[in-house]
Structure 1
């Protein structure tokens, strides 16, 4: 496509093809260090094997884009639809989630062939006009498929970390990198006036359905900490009896803590008087100045109460983040662990909020199976904001909401303190 000055400009097809190719190649890059044995690991029901993530993200393009929109498309194996559907009831039967690690067949090689088959078909549809791109919903679905795959890129590495943590060898997913010493930074506060504000996606560019509609909220004046809570501050919480003081904990949180014998963040242990943690770079001494990670909502809430503050609401976080540049430690840096190198609302660790994951006023899920993407999960989960060291930067925007159950810890989950003015 050329403009009036005769200069070549990317067409909408070029843009969506670039996004598709970039996303698919990034997933392959993340899986490149893995052996065939690594590909099948599943350590718990909440996690999935790397091989399954590679196949499920491929199934998404096949099920929602190729089958309905590419004339003459033939699946490489019709049975894959059942194996690699996750939770889309309207799309058909699904293999039991907790048993994904038992799928030794198809092999990792077969899954890669499946990916190539689907990728070739998507590219054919885009490059030969076999797709009807005058249908705006098709472009939206391909974009959604790419962002869906970005979510699974994050899950791939964090699920793998959990699986590797059961190996006494504590293998490193990626080569350990020398990191700059994180400077110890005092906690300071940014003040916000509050008032009648709007949050939610404004309608420009991609967003998930749960990020809208944009709507008004009332916020009292509040403050946010300049950085996430650090490992050093968490150690002080532990040494002051934070895990033994029941009055700091929500009743359900205390029960979960007792049942699971929590007394540190996930992956921590003490060796020769020094705290260590297991990371995607292998075992590392705990950096006191880096953000604490792998803590549940229950732990985050107890810490905030111990510190004399609270967790922010998601509206407070979004109102503060909306005018700021998205600048932080994301998956793109390749570090894959929190560093705390800069004061930012973005990156390093997802930040627990005090807000339940519920529909915004006027929310309506899309029709059909694609409407199952977020809407049916809007109960018993809590919202986190800001992205992490395992989140692709391209995913981030001020309105982006992720959500987890309050007991979960295996993701890159941390916290930032808030306070009333």
Structure 2
């Protein structure tokens, strides 16, 4: 163990980096060079851009800022600056080819492992608790999720495989759970690899509310569709109504009607829409419209986190709904272990103290809240990670999805996106006032 490093921390960082790189390879190795360099949607980068960007961020932060080394290839740094080049423009840049991108990412990783071997993981904000290494592992896993979205948008034969989720626990579940009112601790000041928008821990107060025990299912969402939900403006926020009318939207993304049934395309496979899975690939506007139609609403971000973390028996907030232990396969559907959400009602071992299921994994859950800083927020280690996105333009999603690795998912983790976004692995659950 490196002097000055807490026991096991270096090994944890190495394991997180290794797992992320293995997943990156699993997403980029099965496709042709043509598929790697193509842009499969103007919403997404070519896969080869993500591959080299992963290596470039790792180099800039770990070899550059932590180790103080000069850039290996300074001429490419501007190409992989996400703020300089919108996704739609990236195919026209002089990007590294697939073989070059792989060699570059591998060279950086080799040097990073050398650095990790001899660097004390304390003494500065970037190094304390191995934060910089954890941040880079999370960054790579987040881009792996982005690349999985690109795979879903990609046309052509399937190239990814994974086992099916286990059948759900069959005991009957109540439809909703009462979450008591009162204060709870939101956010974290203690999670070592938490990102700036999760910090600091602070007191929040909620009124009592009811929340769905499980995410909204495809069957429940189809009832909204069958009742003319996409044709009734009273359910829709004005901007959402304009969006669906302009683009002719009448179902979740990747669904189509054929032969009297709804089909969906999932990673190159066309299949009937399974009624007992959480609905997937819906925008915030669609989630909000369904909730209004059902006589309910989307939970606020604070309500979602209270339902997920607050233990009424002890008054404390847990790391995860099931407790403080890291996730394992009995708790949640994470890490691309499966290529679909598990059926609603799955993972009883992952339930919250109040009995709410599937709050972590399966589908990102839209909330009613805008993405805003917590009281006492401090941008770290750079303001472009969170601060530039704060405001009413972005809505908060919580809980992760089957595409999220556990290193980038916890009870305090916050995601955000534009309310029109549907290509992401997004679903929702609803709430109501007492």
Aligned to 1:175: 161
Aligned to 2:26: 29
Mean Cα deviation higher: 292-301 or 13-22:
13-22
Cα offsets for 1:295-345 (capped at 9, x unmatched): 000010000000111111111111111142252212242334454351422
CA distance in 2, matches of 1:69, 1:79: 20
CA distance in 2, matches of 1:338, 1:102: 39
Gaps of 5+ in 2: 310-317, 347-356
**184 and 356 in structure 1: CA distance in 2 versus 1, 3 angstrom threshold:** farther
Match of 1:158 in 2: 149
Greater CA deviation, 177-186 or 286-295?
A: 177-186
Cα drift, residue 180 of structure 1: 6.2
- Give the corresponding residue for 2:373: 359
| Change over 3 Å in CA distance of 1:225–1:72 after alignment to 2 | closer
Q: Given the two structures, how large is their TM-score scaled by the length of structure 1?
A: 0.88
Contact 1:351 1:384 in 2 (8 A): yes
Mapped contact 2:52–2:96 kept (Cα < 8 A)? no
Residue range with higher mean Cα deviation, 153-162 or 133-142? 133-142
Shifted more, 220-229 versus 38-47: the winner is 38-47
Structure 1 residue 349: Cα displacement: 0.8
Residue 18 of structure 1: aligned partner: 15
Distance 1:291 1:184 in 2: 18
Partner residue, 2:62 = 65
Query: Does the Cα contact within 8 Å between 1:276 and 1:284 map onto a contact in 2?
Result: yes
Partner Cα separation in structure 1 for residue 161 and residue 12 of structure 2: 33
Q: How many Å apart are 1:104 and its aligned residue?
A: 6.6
Q: Which runs of 5+ in 1 are unaligned?
A: 3-8, 88-93
1:100 maps onto 2:90 in alignment:
yes
- Structure 1 residue 178, shift from structure 2 partner: 5.7
Take 2:387 and 2:151, find their aligned partners in 1: how far apart are those partners? 27
Q: Do the aligned partners of 2:14 and 2:113 also contact (CA within 8 Å) in 1?
A: yes
| CA separation of 1:398 and 1:132: change in aligned 2, threshold 3 A | closer
Question: Bigger shift: 259-268 or 100-109?
Answer: 100-109
Q: TM-score, normalised by structure 2?
A: 0.86
For the residues of structure 2 that align with 1:72 and 1:207, how far apart are their CA atoms? Answer: 26
Q: Does the C-alpha gap of structure 1 residues 350 and 38 become closer, same or farther in structure 2, counting only changes over 3 Å?
A: same
The separation in 2 between residues aligned to 1:29 and 1:257, in whole angstroms, is 35
Q: Describe the SS at the equivalent of 1:329.
A: coil
Q: 1:220 to 1:134 in 2, by over 3 A?
A: closer
1:349 aligns with 2:363: yes
Post-superposition shift, 1:176? 7.2
Count matched residues.
399
Match of residue 80, structure 2, among 77, 81, 84: 84
* 2:20–2:137 Cα contact (<8 Å) kept: yes
1:234, CA displacement in angstroms? 1.1
Whether contact under 8 Å (2:211, 2:299) holds in the other structure is yes
Q: Please list the CA deviations of residues 68-95 of structure 1 after superposition, one character each: whole Å capped at 9, or x if unmatched.
A: 33355550x22220111112xxxxxx34
CA distance, structure 2, for counterparts of residue 415 and residue 19 of structure 1:
29
What secondary structure does 1:83 align onto?
helix
